[in-house]
Amino acid sequence: MKIISSDLLEYLKDREIEGHIHSVFKNVVNIQTEDDRLIAIIDNKKDIAPMSITSGETIYSNLSLAKGERVWITGNQFTIPGRKITLNMNMSLVWNSEPEKVSMSNRSCDINRALAILEDVITTHGRNTGLVPLMFNINDQFPTIRPYTNETMKMNRYSKKIKSRFCQFIKSVYTLNLSEINRHSNNIIGFGPGLTPSADDLLAGMMISNIYMAEYYDLNSGYVRSINREIIRGIKDKTTDISYEMLRNASGGKGSDKVKQLIRAILIGEVNLKEKIISVIDHGGESGSDMLTGIYLGMRIINDEALRRKLQK
Partner 1 sequence: MTVFSEIKQGTYYDSVTLMRISQEVKSMDGVKDVLVGMGTTLNKDMARSMGILSEEAAGVGNNDLFIVFSLEDGENPQNIFERIEALLNPEHSESAEGYNPITLREGLKYAPEGNIVLISLPGQYVYEEAKFALENNRHVMIFSDNVPINQELELKQIAVEKGLLLMGPDCGTAIINKIPLGFANIVRKGSIGIVGASGTGIQEVSALIHRKGRGIAQAIGVGGRDLKDEIGGLMMIQGVKALIDDSQTEVIVIISKPPSASVAKKIMNLAKRSQKPVVVDFVGDVEAHDFHYGNSNVYLCETLEETALRAIALVQGENKANSICTKDQKRLEEIEEKAAEESEKYGQGQKYILGLFAGGTLASETISIIEKNLGTVYSNIHRDPVCRVIPDDKTSMHLCVDLGEDAYTVGRPHPMIDMSTRNQWIEESINEDVAVLLIDIVFGSGANKDPVGAMEEALAEAKKSMEEKGKHLTIICSICGTENDIQDYERAKKRLEALDVIVAESNAHGADLAVAMVRGRNEKLEPIRRLFKSEISVINMGIDSFYQDLMQLGVKIVHIDWRPPAGGNDKMLSLLSRLKSKGDD
Contact residues for partner 1 (CB under 8 A)? 23-26, 61, 67, 117, 120-121, 123-124, 127, 129, 149-151, 157-158, 161-162, 188-197, 199, 237-243, 271-272, 274-275, 278, 284-287
Tally helices (H) and strands (E) across the chain.
12, 9
Report DSSP state, residue 208.
H
Complex with partner 1: residue 76 or 172, whichever CB lies closer: 172
Minimum Å gap between C-beta 71 and partner 1 is 17
Minimum Å gap between C-beta 268 and partner 1 is 15
Complex with partner 1: residue 237 or 305, whichever CB lies closer: 237
Contact between 51 and 66 (Cβ < 8 Å) = no
Minimum Å gap between C-beta 299 and partner 1 is 20
Minimum Å gap between C-beta 32 and partner 1 is 11
**Helices assigned H by DSSP within 126-193:** 134-137, 157-175, 178-186
Minimum Å gap between C-beta 13 and partner 1 is 29
Complex with partner 1: residue 156 or 303, whichever CB lies closer: 156
Complex with partner 1: residue 218 or 241, whichever CB lies closer: 241
Minimum Å gap between C-beta 192 and partner 1 is 7
Hey, CA dihedral for 303, 292, 180, 216, is it positive or negative? negative
Complex with partner 1: residue 129 or 209, whichever CB lies closer: 129
Complex with partner 1: residue 76 or 196, whichever CB lies closer: 196
Complex with partner 1: residue 159 or 228, whichever CB lies closer: 159
- Taking the C-alpha atoms of residue 273 and residue 113, their distance in angstroms, rounded to an integer, is 11
Minimum Å gap between C-beta 275 and partner 1 is 6
Q: What is the DSSP string of 274-300?
A: HHHHHHHHTSTTTHHHHHHHHHHHHHH
User: Phi, psi at residue 142, to the nearest 5°?
Assistant: -130, 85
290: Cβ–Cβ under 8 A, 6 or more apart, which residues? 130, 131, 132, 192, 194, 198, 199, 201, 202, 205
- Taking the C-alpha atoms of residue 119 and residue 234, their distance in angstroms, rounded to an integer, is 32
C-alpha dist (Å) from residue 311 to 7, 103, 169, 307:
28, 16, 18, 6
Minimum Å gap between C-beta 284 and partner 1 is 4
C-alpha dist (Å) from residue 296 to 32, 112, 153:
31, 10, 15
Longest pairwise C-alpha distance within the chain: 60
C-alpha dist (Å) from residue 163 to 2, 46, 90, 199:
42, 32, 48, 11
Complex with partner 1: residue 107 or 125, whichever CB lies closer: 125
